[in-house]
Structure 1
Amino acid sequence: MKNVVDNRSGVSSTAECAGSGKGLRHFGFSILFHLNCSGANRIYSPIEDMCIEVMTTTKPWPKADSTCKIRGGRLIVADSERKFNFIKTTLQESAVWRTTNYWIGLSDEPVANGIFIWSDGTRASYTNWIPGEGKSATEFCVEMVRSRDYQWNDNPCWAPLRFICEYT
């Protein structure tokens, strides 16, 4: 049984799902890969064909990033309004998860200040900044701020926050 979000309503529910069945064709054989969304804090999105895992421990951004990688994923890449809304709705529907801020996989630390790069290596085109944020010369990592409807704020990377991993 897995948590899934209905495509039309965006409402989470529990159902059997195996992911997309993404596959690889080689020498005439098809090998299917199924997304494993098992786990208490993992939610499957059929719209985005991914799992997210809401981590309830707090870590600085670099440790959160490495934790996601060790677990076979990456810090969440909220690179579209649709994906952002899925994440926001998922957090808001949980009494436990909706109480705090979360690291996402966006940072301008490894490059020039103001050029934000996602944890998958792509440059940010979609953003959802709190007005006036995203311009600090001393804050390089990005959090979703609960009290601002999960809009984004750049924060010092050493701050311990909860975080969200993504698995595709």
Structure 2
Amino acid sequence: MSLGLVFVLLCTHALVNAANDTRRCPEGFLEHGSSCYWFSNVKGSFAEARSYCQFLGSHLARITSQDEDDFIRSRASEENGYPGYWLGATDLITEGKFMWEKGCPLNYTSWGSNQPDNCDMQNNPEHCLMLLKNLDYMWNDLLCTKDIYFICEKKVSRCNCKN
């Protein structure tokens, strides 16, 4: 078989598979509402988690409604019972004023009791937002350098390649 024919067959196979793929979220992401979510199985600092999500063409999750919060908390509790997950907000720019990445304000919040408290047991400042299992996956602030799991989010694909 000639190399040219192999190339044509591989391209045709890829196009047929792409045309039959009706998923609106990438492999491994879960669809809810207008977003796709990926719950990591690896740990990283806030900065590492943000970079990992960017590598996947997404961003750290932003929770903007009760419905989204209910979905994320429910999934978090089903995902191996991990102790916590990074979300995409910090108060690094202005202490006490958490903002989503890209500077969007938090118009919806779901802080756990007495949170945010801005310090850990050793009085280290906590500036990054996460879900904490001990608070039933409600919001907590945490030292940004801690290695924990994370949730990536991207918008649902609007284009299906079906004729």
- The alignment status of 1:38 with 2:27, answered yes or no, reads yes
- Aligned match for 1:69, one of 54, 65, 85: 54
**Matched-pair contact (CA < 8 Å) for 1:103–1:144:** yes
Tell me by how many angstroms 1:66 deviates.
1.5
Deviations 1:144-165 (A, max 9, x none): 0112111111110000000000
Structure 1 residues 106-145: aligned runs within 5 Å: 106-109=89-92, 111-136=93-118, 138-145=125-132
Distance 2:107 2:49 in 1: 23
Contact 1:74 1:120 in 2 (8 A): no
Q: TM-score, normalised by structure 1?
A: 0.71
Equivalence for 2:88:
105
Aligned residue number for residue 24 of structure 1: none
The structural deviation recorded for 1:68 is 0.7
Structure 1 unaligned blocks of 5 or more: 1-15, 20-35
1:104 and 1:142 in contact (8 A); partners too: yes
Aligned residues: 130
The aligned amino acid for 1:72 is G
CA RMSD, aligned part only? 1.7
Q: How far does residue 51 in structure 1 lie from its aligned partner after superposition? A: 0.7
Q: Distance in 1 between matches of 2:154 and 2:128?
A: 20
Contact kept, 8 Å, 1:76 with 1:119, in 2: the verdict is no
2:8 corresponds to: none
Cα distance in structure 1, aligned partners of 2:91 and 2:101: 10
Percent of residue pairs bearing the same amino acid type: 26
Indicate the structure with greater strand content: 1
Q: Are the aligned partners of 2:76 and 2:137 in contact in 1 as well (CA < 8 Å)?
A: no
Extract unaligned runs of 5+ from structure 2: 1-20, 120-124, 156-163
Rounded to whole Å, the distance in 2 between the matches of 1:139 and 1:93 is 26
Per the alignment, residue 30 of structure 1 pairs with: none
The letter of the residue matching 2:90 is: S
8 A contact 2:73–2:138 mirrored in 1: no
Amino acid at match of 2:103: G
Q: For CA contacts below 8 A with separation 6 or more, give which structure has more relative contact order.
A: 2
TM-score when scaled to structure 2? 0.73
Q: What are the superposed Cα offsets for residues 114-136 of structure 1, whole Å, 9 maximum, x if unpaired? A: 11111243111211111221141
Match of 1:32 in 2: none
Higher Cα radius of gyration: 2
Decide whether the 8 Å contact of 1:114 with 1:135 is kept in 2.
Answer: no
Contact map agreement 1:50 1:166 (CA 8 A) in 2: yes
